[in-house]
Amino acid sequence: MRKSLARRCAAAALAVFTGLTTVALAASPAQAAPALAGVTLSTGTVVLDGDAGCANRVKVTFKVYDPVAEDDYVSVSADVMGPDGDAVDFLFPKQASRSGDYAYLTDYVFICGGLDGPGRYTIRSGDYAYLTDYVFICGGLDGPGRYTIRTELEWFGDDLVDHVVERVDTFYVKRPTSLTYDATPEPVKKNSALTHKGVLKADPVGYGAKYGLKGAVLRFYFKASGAKSYTYKGQTTTGAGGKYSKKFKATKSGTWMVVYAGSSIRQPQTRFDAVKVK
């Protein structure tokens, strides 16, 4: 039985007893209901090499409105689900100590195989408690894609009913990419061809070194000297080994930009090259 429930039961028993002896007790004011005020992630996307260890993490901060401030009156837990829909970890914050208006809570979680790692803290300020935890990602175990954190706030109210509030947040794990880019020749004669070339590489979903990514779309943009924005010029697709080459007519000096938009599992890339036209 929770401490808060035990206290309510004791208060109810006292009320019955004093009622028999004609002693009147004033009703206790109703407490505002606890609430999950917010969940904040340190990043929405983790770029992780397939050969990486488990030191990569996402910091999760739970903001809880807790006007009662009794030990075990409210509880917060969260399930972490992987891209395949399977549970990869469970977060169970429990209060460790309290000093004045501040509560401190420590725990250890990993998202790779149930291992334990550092650390969670809860800092209380007024009626709000801030719970912090870290989700650790292992490159060789946790695949790229969309991860879901489903948080539950639970409390036993004055109405003697168990209340549960849920919230869902997401973050993404993506594999890194690399992109080289060169616009040549430099300087270039006006109205002559300017060749844009380079190589796009991607990390495999599992172990191994980056490899040339074939069939990826690259888009080119140009901003003339003195202009405020880039103008779209065209696109190309990478070939064998991730190589690409595209020619545009050089008319003005300025900065060229090539963009790889990435995907749900791959990191985007952007590169620039300033070119002088004479």
Give, in order, the Cα–Cα distances in Å from 148 to each of 133, 143, 268: 15, 13, 22
Mean pLDDT for the stretch of residues 125-143: 78
- Pick 45 or 66 by higher pLDDT: 45
Task: Looking at the structure, tell me whether residues 111 and 65 fall in a common domain.
Answer: yes
Residue 41 lies in a domain: yes
- Pick 64 or 72 by higher pLDDT: 64
Mean pLDDT for the stretch of residues 236-251: 97
Residue 207 lies in a domain: yes
Pick from 176, 178, 203, 193: nearest CA to 245: 193
pLDDT band with cut points at 50, 70 and 90 for residue 42 = confident
Task: Looking at the structure, tell me whether residues 54 and 162 fall in a common domain.
Answer: yes
Q: What is the pLDDT of residue 125?
A: 55
Task: Looking at the structure, tell me whether residues 200 and 218 fall in a common domain.
Answer: yes
Task: Looking at the structure, tell me whether residues 54 and 99 fall in a common domain.
Answer: yes
Task: Looking at the structure, tell me whether residues 166 and 227 fall in a common domain.
Answer: no
Is residue 138 pLDDT above 60, yes or no? Answer: yes
Q: What is the pLDDT of residue 72?
A: 66
Structural domain ending residue among the three candidates 125, 156, 174? 174
Mean pLDDT for the stretch of residues 3-19: 36
Q: Measure the CA–CA gap between 227 and 225, rounded to whole angstroms.
A: 6
- Please give the residue range of the domain that contains residue 258: 177-275
Task: Looking at the structure, tell me whether residues 46 and 151 fall in a common domain.
Answer: yes
- Pick 33 or 168 by higher pLDDT: 168
Q: Tokens for 220?
A: 């080119």
Is residue 273 pLDDT above 90, yes or no? Answer: yes
Task: Looking at the structure, tell me whether residues 133 and 60 fall in a common domain.
Answer: yes
Residue 13 lies in a domain: no
Q: Find the CATH number of the domain harbouring 49.
A: 2.60.40.3880
Domain count, the chain: 2
Task: Looking at the structure, tell me whether residues 132 and 197 fall in a common domain.
Answer: no
Residue 67 preceded by cis peptide, ω within 30: no
Query: 210 φ, ψ to 5°?
Result: -60, 150
Q: What is the pLDDT of residue 185?
A: 96
Task: Looking at the structure, tell me whether residues 39 and 139 fall in a common domain.
Answer: yes
Task: Looking at the structure, tell me whether residues 35 and 129 fall in a common domain.
Answer: yes
Structural domain ending residue among the three candidates 123, 157, 174? 174
Percentage of residues in the chain having pLDDT higher than 90: 42
Q: What is the mean pLDDT of the chain?
A: 78
Q: What is the pLDDT of residue 94?
A: 55
Structural domain ending residue among the three candidates 174, 207, 238? 174
- Residue environment code for 246-273, b if the CB has 16+ CB neighbours within 10 A, otherwise e: beeebeebbbbbbbbebeebbbebebeb
Q: What is the DSSP letter of 189?
A: -
